[in-house]
Amino acid sequence: MADDGLIPKTPSEAQYSAAKEAYSVAEDQGEVFASDDPYEIFVDWFQFAKRFEPNDTNAMSVATVDSTGLPNVRILLLKDVSDRGFSFYSNSESTKGLELAANPQAALCFHWKTVRRQVRIRGPVSELSAEECDAYFAERARGSQIGAWASFQSRPIENRELLDQRIADYEEIYRDRDVPRPDNWKGWIVHPQEIEFWINRPYRLHERLVFEQEADGWKQTYLYP
> Which residues have a catalytic role annotated?
204
**DSSP percent split of the chain into helix, strand, coil, nearest 5:** 30, 30, 35
Q: Pick the piece of the chain touching ligand FMN (CB under 6 A) from 12-20, 34-42, 87-95, 102-110.
A: 87-95
Q: Pick the piece of the chain touching ligand FMN (CB under 6 A) from 29-37, 90-98, 185-193, 216-224.
A: 90-98
Q: Among residues 218, 190, 221, 225, which one has the least CA distance to residue 79?
A: 190
Radius of gyration from C-alpha coordinates of the chain: 21
Burial class (CB in 10 A: 0-12, 13-18, 19+), 132: middle
Which of 57, 92, 94, 200 is in the footprint of ligand FMN by CB under 6 A? 94
Left (φ > 0), alpha (ψ -120 to 50) or beta: where does 107 sit? Answer: beta
Which of 42, 48, 86, 88 is in the footprint of ligand FMN by CB under 6 A? 88
Task: Give Cα separations from 97 to 12, 34, 64, 188 (angstroms).
Answer: 44, 36, 9, 9
* Three-class SS state of 165: helix
Kindly state the smallest distance separating residue 78's Cβ from ligand FMN, in Å: 8
Kindly state the smallest distance separating residue 87's Cβ from ligand FMN, in Å: 10
Q: At what angle do helices 142-150 and 160-173 cross, to 10 degrees?
A: 120
d(CA 132, CA 23): 40
Count, residues near ligand FMN per rule CB under 6 A:
16
Kindly state the smallest distance separating residue 202's Cβ from ligand FMN, in Å: 30
Instruction: Choose between 152 and 218: whose C-beta lies nearer to ligand FMN.
Output: 152
76 sits near ligand FMN (criterion: CB under 6 A)? yes
Q: Which of residues 36-65 bind ligand FMN (CB under 6 A)?
A: 56, 59
Which of 65, 74, 104, 212 is in the footprint of ligand FMN by CB under 6 A? 74
Which of 34, 77, 138, 168 is in the footprint of ligand FMN by CB under 6 A? 77
Q: Which of residues 134-173 bind ligand FMN (CB under 6 A)?
A: 153-154
Left (φ > 0), alpha (ψ -120 to 50) or beta: where does 204 sit? Answer: left
Residue ranges that bind ligand FMN, judged by CB under 6 A? 56, 59, 72, 74-77, 88-91, 94-96, 153-154
